[in-house]
Amino acid sequence: MAAVGARRSRLLIIGGAERRSTAILARFVELAGGPSGRIVVIAAASADPATLETEYVSAFTGLGAGTARALRLTTREVANDPATEGLLADATGVFLTGGDQLRMTTVFGATAADRRLRSLLAEGSVVLAGTSAGAAVLAGTMIVGGAGPGVTTAAVRTGPGLELLPGVLIDMHFAERGRLNRLLSAVALYPQELGLGIDEDTAILTDGDRFEVLGSGSVTVVDAGAATDIRVPADGPIALAGARVHVLPAGYTFELTGRRARTTDAPAGEQGRAT
């Protein structure tokens, strides 16, 4: 039941570098309530949280948010503090910055702050956004690294994420850093998960059991559900035959359960032209 509730939450998942264009951040401010919005910025993934906190607080207030403030989570003790819960409970928008996704999960995972954020998302009283590492942590199985050549087990490293959007693997800076091999490797290892590779200045906005693509780039979806053969040797190249790949720019949506892509102006139930 927790997974179903998480999937129905409103999440804005960004592939990174969204500050070069303000359209995605402006959409987040709008979703958080605009001039009545109360945004909390969490830079727990960053080794230099103060810099990112300042940049994003300034960006959100400049885009018309009612208030924006930082929530500095440096330890699990802080994440379990009732004052931290209170700050989150008052928020209409929460933004997770980039950095190191493992730093974020070890400080935040299973704390009182984590539980409060989940309850707020289930209630629909807050919109959650994450960029770069702050996007990767939202998956149940989190891509934490890997840059080896080819599609192999050595090309990707994974770990447990926060599972705020279950059933997916999320990779970011996707086209810009040539991460297709990494995502294919991850999907072969976890074929039950949909692979989502999100380009920079690009995002998905979840709405119920589907997402919409926003921004200037594309989202690459790798679906191993229809694969006819998957072979993952301990060493050497992986075999992944018959998997489906969709490359979706803005103007497309994707159904997470039905695993179908379509254009936003297509009638309900009509599959889009993506392949």
CA atoms within 13 A on the CB side of 200: 11
Residue tagged active-site, from 9, 46, 132, 185: 132
Tokens 């997916």, residue located = 168
Catalytic residue among 85, 173, 193, 246: 173
Domains of the chain with bracketed CATH: 18-131 (3.40.50.880), 135-275 (3.40.50.880)
Segments of the chain scoring below 70 in pLDDT: 1-8, 266-275
**C-beta of residue 39 within 8 angstroms of C-beta of residue 92:** yes
Q: Which residue out of 85, 163, 193, 200 is catalytically annotated?
A: 200
Burial 225-235 (b: 16+ CB within 10 A, else e): eebeebebeee
Q: Is 200 tagged catalytic?
A: yes
pLDDT of residue 267: 56
pLDDT for 59: 96
Known active-site residue 46: no
- Tokens found for residue 114: 């984590």
Are 245 and 220 contacting, i.e. CB atoms less than 8 angstroms apart? yes
pLDDT of res. 4: 38
Phi, then psi, of 149 in degrees rounded to 5: -70, 155
Active site residue 58: no
pLDDT of residue 271: 45
pLDDT at 2: 40
